[in-house]
Amino acid sequence: MCSPHRESRGRVGRLLTSLKVGAKTNLNLSSGKTFSYDVPANRVALYLHDLAKALRRAPIDQWDVYEGLLLGQVGRFSYSASHKAGAVSSDAEQLSAIEMWGQEGVGSILPPLSKSTASQWAVAMPELFKIVYGEKFDEHPLLQELKRSVSARAKTVYGKAGGPGILRKMMLQAVKQAFRSIAALD
């Protein structure tokens, strides 16, 4: 039984540790210092990790229903100032590029994510990130929380607010670092 009492939390914690919950996920879910779902870069990294695993497993047309749900974030977004709304449209070229990345490109040779391989994932992810979210990803509606989280640090060498290039660099840097945060311990 789980309750807010300290003794109960301790027993549940020991049970989760002994069961090795999340051990086969390549994510640090239950040992040492775990990551936070409240960090926008971690959420983006988790999504990209799930997408990469699905892409490496099989071509998109062979995905199961759960993997197919990952495509919900994929699409080209456009914003209409007159309607003050955004719209997403499917893009066959984008889907082809995503599939190529995972089946034949750098994604196909990535090892399972762990602390020792996180740097390889961090190097490979900017390409997938840009395919999924576009070159002007700082304008993507699903990345606005990530953008806000790094905007205070996106400064020029003179300490002034940086432009789109600096902001994009900081967003990518945050996601690359997030792969180190979410990676399972070796």
SS3 state of residue 16: helix
Compute the distance between CA of residue 139 and CA of residue 133 in angstroms, rounded to an integer. 9
Overall pTM > 0.75: yes
Q: What is the pLDDT of residue 79?
A: 58
> Among positive and negative, which fits the CA dihedral 76, 95, 119, 123?
negative
Q: What is the pLDDT of residue 23?
A: 62
Structure tokens at 60: 């998109």
Compute the distance between CA of residue 53 and CA of residue 26 in angstroms, rounded to an integer. 10
Average pLDDT of 54-76?
87
Helix (H) or strand (E) holding 146: helix 144-151
Which span out of 11-15, 81-85, 91-95, 145-149 was modeled with the highest average pLDDT? 145-149
**Amino acid in the structure at residue 81:** A
The answer to whether the CB of 79 falls within 8 A of the CB of 99 is: no
Average pLDDT of 1-23?
71
Q: What is the pLDDT of residue 53?
A: 92
Q: What residue ranges do the domains of the chain occupy?
A: 30-182
